[in-house]
Amino acid sequence: MKIALVGRYGEGEIVAGPERVARELYLQLKEQNVNVTFIEYFFSYYSDYTLLKKIFGNKITNEGILKLGILPLIFKLLKERFNIIHFVNSQRFTLIIFFLKPFLKAKLIATVHGFYKFELPNVRRERQFLDLFTERFLIGKSNVIVFPSELLLGVFSNEYSFYKQKFRVIPNGIGKEFSNESITTDFNNEISLIFYNALDQAINKGLKNLVDELSAINYVSIKLFVIGIEEKIHHRNDNLEIIFKGFVNHRSLIKILEEVQFVIKSNAFEPFSIVVAECMTMGVIPIICENTGIKELVENGVNGFIYESSVTNSLVRLLNDICSNKYDLSVISSNAKKIYEELNWEKVTKQYIFLYQSLI
């Protein structure tokens, strides 16, 4: 079985969720002795980008990733005769592969991490058109479409109902570095929260809306740690402190989590939150809403909390209950750690391998 993972691998330590998924899946497939090749492109923001390389480039990176221009990509796919070509994240350069499909014996699989109409409403019109065009090609031409959550599958089932028979759900995984850490959370002090605000300014994670809700709580001190993009946020609650930590790698995130009790999401649509899963692995309790894909693995009051974003003051009432000691937070924290048993990358990768084998 010869597998080609095609997509963006990314540069540096800090990359977005779809690239992190691509990296982990590639490493796990290699560990499980699968014959796998990772193919990516000379993206315009890469340090080694040139126009000629986008057409003729051919390079193997230090991580063993095959970086190809369009022509070498075509030759590679026609020559190697892969059994499976897996688009691990949505990239425009992959469109050329769909035109090659009649000449390839490979089955095509696409992992779709988001829905552009929901997540990127404010990007330039030409970029939105190209991304939507790529999305439609992935859905229409791939043999199987994988989503990380039932929430995202439901959205696509409504939009692309004709293709529902080839939709599957395989969740994203959690890295070992988080399971190897052990912290003891103190729930006797002020409320301390962490919020992930994305790496791309085009994606609105709902930070301002969240701060507006937290500002309604003035009887307890709240610390809100924000990782990712920094925004200018104004509020009038002296008990609320917002601490921007910028872009952080895994080691820095783990260090921040030593000071945090809860990971919180706003009411913005979130197909699947890897950060929430990582936080839970370390005993940080999730506070999410029904628009967060990982809700399928969170049982309210057992291993985390789910508030109803459509109900006025639902989050405020939940925090009131937490502050009045309605819940045994130590037990909930302990239960949250068990998510790693479901979402470790070894287990997730076996689901992908089973899918590959079912198509050959």
Give the pLDDT confidence of 318-334 residue by residue, as tens digits: 999 999 889 999 999 99
Q: 126: pLDDT confidence band, cut at 50, 70 and 90?
A: low
Give the whole-angstrom CA distance, residue 308 versus residue 277: 20
Higher-confidence position of 182 and 23: 23
The predicted model gives 340-350 an average pLDDT of: 95
Give the whole-angstrom CA distance, residue 287 versus residue 192: 12
Task: Check whether residue 6 and residue 50 sit in a common domain.
Answer: yes
Task: Check whether residue 46 and residue 143 sit in a common domain.
Answer: yes
For 180, the domain range is: 176-342
pLDDT digits (tens, 9 = 90+) for 64-119: 999 999 999 999 999 999 999 999 999 999 999 999 999 998 999 999 998 876 66
Radius of gyration (C-alpha) of the chain in whole angstroms: 21
The predicted model gives 338-352 an average pLDDT of: 96
- In sequence order, the β-bridge partners of residue 228 are 197
Poorest-pLDDT segment among 150-154, 201-205, 241-245, 261-265: 201-205
Task: Check whether residue 313 and residue 194 sit in a common domain.
Answer: yes
Give the whole-angstrom CA distance, residue 120 versus residue 102: 32
CA neighbor of 261 nearest in space, from 205, 318, 223 = 223
- pLDDT at position 120: 57
Task: Check whether residue 161 and residue 180 sit in a common domain.
Answer: no
pLDDT digits (tens, 9 = 90+) for 32-45: 999 999 999 999 88
Cβ 340 vs Cβ 179: under 8 Å = yes
Task: Check whether residue 52 and residue 63 sit in a common domain.
Answer: yes
Task: Check whether residue 226 and residue 271 sit in a common domain.
Answer: yes
- pLDDT at position 82: 96
- pLDDT at position 210: 93
Number of domains comprising the chain: 2
- pLDDT at position 134: 87
- pLDDT at position 118: 65
Report CA torsion sign: 18, 19, 21, 26: positive
The enclosing domain of 211 has a CATH number of 3.40.50.2000
Q: What is the DSSP letter of 210?
A: H
Task: Check whether residue 72 and residue 148 sit in a common domain.
Answer: yes
Task: Check whether residue 165 and residue 204 sit in a common domain.
Answer: no
Task: Check whether residue 68 and residue 16 sit in a common domain.
Answer: yes
Number of residues that this document lists for the chain? 360
Percent share of the chain, pLDDT over 90? 69
- pLDDT at position 131: 80
pLDDT digits (tens, 9 = 90+) for 133-146: 888 889 999 999 99
Task: Output the pTM of the full model.
Answer: 0.92
Q: 121: pLDDT confidence band, cut at 50, 70 and 90?
A: low
* 119 residue type, one letter: E
**pLDDT value at 122 more than 70:** no
- pLDDT at position 174: 94
- pLDDT at position 297: 95
Cβ 114 vs Cβ 330: under 8 Å = no
Task: Check whether residue 156 and residue 228 sit in a common domain.
Answer: no
Task: Check whether residue 226 and residue 247 sit in a common domain.
Answer: yes
The predicted model gives 160-178 an average pLDDT of: 93
Give the whole-angstrom CA distance, residue 284 versus residue 333: 6
The predicted model gives 241-246 an average pLDDT of: 94
**pLDDT value at 154 more than 70:** yes
- pLDDT at position 123: 53
Cβ 134 vs Cβ 90: under 8 Å = yes
Task: Check whether residue 146 and residue 203 sit in a common domain.
Answer: no
